[in-house]
């Protein structure tokens, strides 16, 4: 550092020459805090891994010493093995594909139904008076209660799964849409009236941005409910899909398949959660930019 | 303390709550449509059963002790699992919220396991604990645990440093800190978690009875057997019973919550 100060005294800093030093300092600071942050993050992740590592070690030794019958607790190696076999044979992908398409269809059907209901009841007092009490009563019923009835009407094919999961999606989407619209500050609507916004403008430029966080909460709950309902329906009645993988393992008395299915379900759950969080941060950024 | 209660009372005045007659239009229209379709013979009455039959089966079912036994079993299962899960959830949530170390050690595992869709646990639990009562109870408890632990965690995290400082000044012991500061301060969020936990517990009870229909006794078992016998009337009655019991449980919980948290409301 002394060399650079000497240089500075020989060549007095002028104009652009003065810039590098603070930049260097800032860079060093940044590097230091950056390294610190990275180290902290690594440390935190390591802390979080202690418990799983411990459990995994206990599991491995339990399997190696045959403390528990293999029928009850499959060895981690055999779970990994069956996961790899399922992947190599393409079974895993096709089961996942079935499940994903069920969730996607239900989100599309239930989500648009929920948005329609939510916006309708949120914007029209008359519609709300006619529909909301019935909706509220129906929403109190757990989705699972509908399933036996749906089986009678829709059989046990795709129709059952999509209708059951759609019902699971409609409820949170409608409730949150309604909530989002009800919580729009009245002065925003007054301003839009002053500016003589058309209905489309009010919807697009006031209602939608103001209700966006609530809509997003609805989406998040809908995805989680859909995933819950999907696994239930697939366990109850299906011949393909990720839940069926578990049923299949159970029927073949292959506990490694059961655990493999759970691992996949957990992994998809984590990915969905991450994706939703990412989307949420995007939505909020857009919201900040809008105002 | 110049904190005057400027907030409006949280409850809408009960006197102004009057049921709008328009609320009945849709249910009545649907009932009329149902009756017309079945009475006119336009639909397969084995699939879409006449409303009269449902009423008859409902009357018979409500007079049947087997049905009430099933209801009793289900509610007991629900209550037992809920109690265990709620206790565990409050304990886990307080630990995660109050101790950084616990949060770093357990938190990531907890948040990862939470992502496993609940019902995926049931086959594994039933192979470990058998098809009896225990696996259902553990499953219901697990379903309750997650929302309660999350609510408690958030509540405990919301305790302010000022409160903690006051407690330090008064030299609160650890148990005083927990029972006189942390849990009361976190009470609203814990209540939210418990309410959600109750909903999940009921869903888990019915779901486990559906999935393990050949074992044990319960409302879910009765309905699934009704489906096997293609007894649509019984299924509808059972569905209404599930909804009614779930709704009344939630009502009771809301009452209890309102009473237990009455001290939290600003004076009116």
Quick check: B113 and B96 in contact, CB under 8 A? no
Within a domain: residue B14? no
Q: Are residues A93 and A220 in the same domain?
A: yes
Within a domain: residue A45? yes
Judged by CB atoms closer than 8 Å, whether chains meet at B227 and A151 is answered as: yes
Our count of domains for chain A comes to 2
Within a domain: residue B38? no
Quick check: A148 and B230 in contact, CB under 8 A? no
Q: Are residues A27 and A103 in the same domain?
A: no
Range of the domain at A126: 79-290
List the single residue in A147, A148, A261 with the smallest CB-CB distance to B120.
A261
The conformation of residue A15, written as its DSSP 8-state character, comes to G
State yes or no: pLDDT of B3 exceeds 80: no
State yes or no: pLDDT of B195 exceeds 70: yes
Q: Residue A183 belongs to a domain with what CATH number? A: 1.10.3720.10
Judged by CB atoms closer than 8 Å, whether chains meet at B108 and A269 is answered as: no
Dihedral of alpha carbons B115, B117, B118, B123, sign = negative
Phi, psi (deg, nearest 5) at residue A14: -150, 130
DSSP chain B: ------SPPSSPPGGG----GGGGHHHHHHHHHHHHHHHTT-S-TTTS--HHHHHHHHHHHHT-HHHHHHHHHHHHHHHHHHHHHHHHHHHHHHHHHH-HHHHHHHHHHHHHHTTS-GGGHHHHHHHHH-SSHHHHHHHHHHHHHHHHHHHHHHHHHT--HHHHHHHHHTT--HHHIIIIIIHHHHHHHHHHHHHHHHHHHHHHHHHHHHHTTTSS-SHHHHHHHHHHTT-HHHHHHHHHHHHHHHHHHHHHHHHHHHHHTGGGSPP-
| Residue linked to tokens 């749906």 | A150
Whether the CB of A58 is below 8 Å from some CB of chain B: the reply is no
Our count of domains for chain B comes to 1
Range 154-183 of A in CB contact (< 8 A) with B? none
Within a domain: residue B22? no
Q: Which of B81, B64, B61, B70 lies closest to B217 in space, CA to CA?
A: B70
List the single residue in B27, B117, B243 with the smallest CB-CB distance to A140.
B243
Judged by CB atoms closer than 8 Å, whether chains meet at A231 and B117 is answered as: yes
List the single residue in A45, A129, A272 with the smallest CB-CB distance to B23.
A129
In this prediction, residue B42 carries a pLDDT of 79
Q: Are residues A148 and A225 in the same domain?
A: yes
The distance of B170 to chain A (nearest Cα, Å) reads 33
- Average pLDDT over every residue of B34-44: 83
Q: Are residues A192 and A58 in the same domain?
A: no
Range of the domain at B149: 50-263
CA A247 to chain centre: 25
Rounded Cα distance between A129 and A126, Å, is 5
Within a domain: residue A60? yes
Q: Are residues A172 and A89 in the same domain?
A: yes
- pTM reported for the whole predicted model: 0.82
Q: Which of B59, B83, B79, B81 lies closest to B71 in space, CA to CA?
A: B79
At B13, list the tokens. 């005045």
Within a domain: residue A177? yes
| Residue linked to tokens 């019991």 | B245
- Residues of chain A with pLDDT below 70 are 1-34, 284-291
Within a domain: residue B202? yes
The distance of A261 to chain B (nearest Cα, Å) reads 8
Range 242-261 of A in CB contact (< 8 A) with B? 243, 246-247, 249-250, 255, 258-259, 261
The distance of A219 to chain B (nearest Cα, Å) reads 16
List the single residue in A51, A141, A270 with the smallest CB-CB distance to B115.
A270
In this prediction, residue A25 carries a pLDDT of 64
Phi, psi (deg, nearest 5) at residue A72: -90, -45
Q: Residue B120 belongs to a domain with what CATH number? A: 1.10.3720.10
The distance of B230 to chain A (nearest Cα, Å) reads 8
Within a domain: residue B143? yes
Within a domain: residue B232? yes
Residue B180 burial (CB count, 10 A): 14
């Amino acid at each position: 550092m002394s060399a650079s100060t000497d240089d500075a005294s020989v060549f007095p800093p002028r104009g652009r020459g003065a810039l590098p030093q603070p930049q260097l300092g800032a860079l060093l600071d940044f590097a230091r805090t950056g390294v610190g942050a990275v180290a902290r993050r690594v440390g935190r992740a390591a802390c979080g891994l202690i418990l799983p590592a411990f459990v995994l070690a206990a599991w491995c030794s339990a399997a190696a010493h045959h403390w528990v019958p293999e029928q009850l607790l499959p060895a981690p190696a055999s779970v990994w093995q069956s996961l790899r076999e399922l992947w190599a044979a393409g079974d895993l992908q096709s089961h996942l594909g079935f499940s994903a398409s069920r969730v996607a269809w239900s989100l599309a059907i239930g989500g648009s139904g929920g948005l329609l209901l939510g916006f309708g009841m949120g914007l029209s007092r008359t519609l709300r008076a006619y529909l909301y009490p019935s909706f509220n009563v129906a929403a109190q019923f757990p989705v699972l209660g509908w399933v036996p009835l749906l089986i009678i009407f829709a059989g046990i094919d795709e129709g059952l799964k999509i209708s059951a999961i759609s019902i699971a999606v409609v409820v949170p989407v409608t409730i949150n849409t309604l909530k989002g619209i009800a919580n729009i500050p009245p002065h925003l609507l007054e301003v839009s009236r002053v500016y003589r916004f058309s209905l489309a403008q009010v919807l697009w430029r006031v209602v939608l941005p103001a209700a966006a966080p609530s809509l997003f909460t609805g989406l998040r709950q809908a995805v989680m409910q859909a995933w819950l309902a999907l696994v239930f329906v697939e366990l109850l009645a299906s011949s393909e899909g990720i839940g069926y993988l578990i049923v299949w393992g159970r029927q073949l008395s292959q506990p490694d398949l059961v655990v493999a299915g759970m691992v996949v379900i957990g992994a998809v759950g984590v990915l969905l959660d991450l994706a939703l969080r990412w989307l949420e941060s995007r939505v909020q950024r857009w919201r900040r930019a809008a105002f | 303390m110049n904190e005057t209660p400027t907030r409006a009372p949280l409850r809408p005045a009960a006197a102004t709550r009057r049921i709008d007659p328009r609320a009945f239009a849709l249910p009545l229209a649907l009932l009329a449509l149902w009756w017309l379709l079945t009475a006119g013979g336009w639909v397969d009455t084995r699939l879409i059963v006449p409303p009269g039959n449902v009423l008859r089966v409902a009357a018979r079912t409500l007079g049947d002790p087997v049905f009430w036994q099933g209801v009793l079993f289900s509610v007991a299962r629900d209550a037992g699992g809920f109690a265990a899960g709620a206790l565990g959830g409050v304990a886990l949530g307080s630990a995660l919220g109050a101790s950084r170390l616990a949060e770093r050690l357990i938190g990531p595992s907890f948040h990862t396991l939470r992502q496993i869709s609940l019902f995926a646990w049931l086959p594994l639990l039933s192979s470990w604990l058998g098809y009896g009562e225990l696996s259902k109870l553990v499953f219901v408890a697990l379903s309750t645990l997650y929302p309660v632990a999350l609510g408690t965690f958030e509540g405990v995290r919301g305790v302010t440093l000022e409160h903690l400082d006051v407690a330090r000044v008064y030299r609160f012991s650890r148990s005083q800190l927990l029972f006189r500061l942390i849990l009361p301060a976190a009470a609203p969020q814990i209540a939210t978690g418990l309410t959600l936990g109750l909903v999940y517990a009921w869903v888990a009870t019915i779901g486990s009875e559906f999935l393990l229909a050949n074992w044990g006794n319960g409302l879910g078992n009765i309905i699934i057997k009704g489906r096997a016998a293609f007894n649509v009337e019984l299924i509808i009655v059972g569905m209404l019973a599930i909804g009614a019991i779930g709704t009344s449980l939630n009502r009771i919980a809301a009452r209890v919550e309102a009473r237990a948290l009455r001290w939290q409301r600003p004076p009116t």
